[in-house]
Amino acid sequence: MKDKNINNDILKNLNYKWLISCGAIASFIFTFSWIIQGIFKYSYNSLSMSISSLAIGSFGWIQSFTFILTGVLLVLFAFGFFKLSKMRFNQISKWAYIFIFICGLGLIGAGCFTTGYINGYSTPEMLSNEYLRSILNQLFLTIFSLG
């Protein structure tokens, strides 16, 4: 009976460790994606343009997908961090999980809405729905930054 409990504890820890590793995976995917896209995107300058501007154009769906995937991985990381710290570390503030969760939600939201005109990268004549999507994108990225 005791061996069965030990195996359940090991399995629970492995699940939480997998969720914790989502944080490292998220950072690697996000960084690798925007660097590679920036190399191949014509007229993109990482010093003067935001990463969101990579979502503009024909292959912009890649950056939008990267935002959403990274956000989901951060939410999973926050959940795993919360559960594992409750099992092992009682001194970690609950605000750490909340801020990581907010960052994940901000990236998911930013991935759902494409940014608009940024430093000459797209045309300044935007339709009203493009303007709204741009505002929502900036709002979610502000939420990400606050997290």
Number of neighbours of residue 89 by Cβ within 10 angstroms: 9
pTM above 0.85, yes or no: no
- Interatomic CA distance for residues 126 and 117, integer angstroms: 8
- Interatomic CA distance for residues 111 and 43, integer angstroms: 22
Residue 145 token pair? 């930054």
pLDDT at 2 over 80: no
- Interatomic CA distance for residues 56 and 95, integer angstroms: 34
Report which secondary-structure segment, H or E, holds 2: helix 2-40
47-78 per-position pLDDT tens digit: 777 777 777 777 878 888 998 999 999 999 98
Mean pLDDT value of segment 109-130: 63
> To which residue do tokens 């960052």 refer?
103
- Per-residue confidence band for 31, with pLDDT thresholds at 50, 70 and 90: very high
Length of the chain, please? 147
For residue 41, the 8-state DSSP code is S
Mean pLDDT value of segment 139-143: 74
Q: Could you write out the DSSP letters of every residue in 21-35?
A: HHHHHHHHHHHHHHH
